[in-house]
Amino acid sequence: MNPVQKSAFAPSFIIVGAGSAGCVLASRLTASQKHCVLVIEAGGSDLNFWVQVPIGYGRAFYHQGLNWMYVTKPDAALNDRKMYWPRGKVIGGSSSINAMVYIRGSAEDFDEWEAMGNPGWSWREVLPYFKRSECNDRGEDEFRGGRGPLHVSTMERDLHPLCQNFLRAAGECGFPKNSDFNGMSQEGVGLYQNTVKNGIRMSAARAYLHPVRRRRNLRVETHSHVTKILFEGRRAVGVEYVKGGKRIQVQAGREVILCAGAVNSPQILQLSGIGSSQLLKSHNIAVICERKGVGENLQDHLGVDYLYRSLAPTLNCQLHPMRGKLWQGIRYLLSRRGPLSLGVNQGGGFVRTRRYLKKPNMQLYFSPVSYTKAPPGKRPLMNPDPFPGFLLGIQPTRPASRGRIELASSDPFESPAIYPNYLSVDGDVQEMLEGAKLIRRIAAAPSLSSIIDEEILPGTDVQSDQELIEDIRERSTTVFHPVGTCRMGQNISSDVVNCQLKVHGVAALRVVDASIFPTLTSGNTNAPTIMVAEKASDLIIQEHVKSWTTPFVALRQSEIQ
């Protein structure tokens, strides 16, 4: 093993991961100029064509230089299939490779967080942080922000005309129209807004990190793989990372902040001696602090798509022919307009499959494109089917199944073992079945049935509940929203961080990313992850503002539980 080098740089805060949360913290914590921040990122620059061009995420999903490219363990409920989990390994993290749909979640999601023992995390209390982060192109109002760094765009001018067929069909099924899923109510169908500005992806890096990279009190180390957190007793005092084959240790004057995401944050904690003592001892890792909840409570959205051959033109007609690709490429380069300037999840919504439910239980997706011959999990957005086609997709918003993430070995460069445990709760199977039936109900409405030539997948021969469930087990896939593996809560036997996002039982260590979500939010997870980091920046600043001149904060007994 290479000898350890001690870094002469001594930041106040070390942020592990320059993803959605890490970029926010880097910006907010360096704004005062009163302390130094080091951001350590395993990936490299986001100045990549497939990152910046919105439709390029189909390529970034499988780009080894941008992506951790995780694969789960076989899942029994999905016919022992392994699931491909792309996670951003690049400046901006998963906000640099995601589908850019901006959804906060329902108000009830966050009120539930507070009810689970997390004061300060109700909808009323987190809404200001959503607004602070956002610059919505429709302007500021009671619910939306207009002056934040994260630009959120209305994409209507470039959306495919078939989106209107979808909206009319949903209306014919009795679902109301909603012009803003992030406004007063989430319920209804409408058109998604994207984190895009002037035809270029608005990642957390573009919004938060790049504008402040020249600050003298900010340093960003890329291609640097964190191997463990360093402790003195039960106080986090720094991290060790590997860069260019060299092992480097750097000290943190105040805190270490894990922003490595729902997969990597629990892995780093376990590698550092925080987790289940049984698991750690099995890998010969010294136990710093027993925390059985690390890696547990894994939640993810599972979805299924139904594909249709269309009688009307779709994006396939524009993007499949080589001349179409060339024309759309030229159009994009000249004007930043057209299908390359947005994602393919264009329409959708949040609906109830049963009228008596108090809130929507299903998220809808409409994409005016199809790719029936793509390998499982791949999204060749620039190479769709040679015939007109589109897809309708669903995801139950609040699955009850829980999985886990744990070390596969003590080697920090080996991917952790991911056990999603999808559909392990009978209610989740029922929800997926109701979603599949809902897709067919919308497809049968006049405004869509009039343009459908045939149902390609799963096909009209799949009819009975048992056949539909078997198709779900065979074709459903992750919607790329893993959360919960360092859950926030008061129960130190099962939760990992408290409502201040401090790791229970140790000092000077926080986790700030989607892993702290107590429950999965209703919808896409990037916006609430950014909100968590915005709120965390205030929590951190408020704690340390009275003692900027001292390198360490005195350890309070309340920090050791």
Query: Which residues are marked as active site?
Result: 481
DSSP code at position 328: H
Complete DSSP assignment for 501-533? -BBTTSBSEEE-SGGG-SS--SS-SHHHHHHHH
Tell me the C-alpha distance between 376 and 79, whole Å. Answer: 14
Tell me the C-alpha distance between 18 and 26, whole Å. Answer: 8
Structure tokens of 27? 């910006």
Element (H, E) at 5: strand 4-6
Cβ neighbours of residue 130 closer than 8 Å, sequence gap 6 or more: 104, 145, 182, 527, 531, 534
Tell me the C-alpha distance between 270 and 258, whole Å. Answer: 12
Coil, strand or helix: which one is 542? helix
Q: How far is CA 258 from CA 151, 188, 236, 452, in A?
A: 25, 36, 11, 48
Coil, strand or helix: which one is 108? helix
For 480-499, give one letter per residue: b (16+ CB within 10 A) or e: bbbbbbbbbbeebeebbbbb
Nearest Cα to Cα of residue 69 among 206, 264, 267: 264
Q: Report phi then psi at 350, rounded to 5.
A: -135, 120
Q: Determine whether 386 is exposed, middle or buried from the number of CB atoms within 10 Å of its CB (0-12, 13-18, 19+).
A: exposed
Q: How far is CA 464 from CA 433, 460, 461, 471, in A?
A: 10, 10, 9, 11
Residue 231: strand pairing partners: 236
Tell me the C-alpha distance between 495 and 489, whole Å. Answer: 5
Coil, strand or helix: which one is 458? coil
Cβ neighbours of residue 463 closer than 8 Å, sequence gap 6 or more: none
* Residue carrying structure tokens 């609430």: 528
Tell me the C-alpha distance between 322 and 351, whole Å. Answer: 38
Cβ–Cβ under 8 Å, residues 497 and 488 = yes
CA angle 544, 545, 549 (to 5 degrees): 85
For the chain, the first-to-last Cα distance in angstroms comes to 35
Other Cβ atoms closer than 10 A to 463 = 11
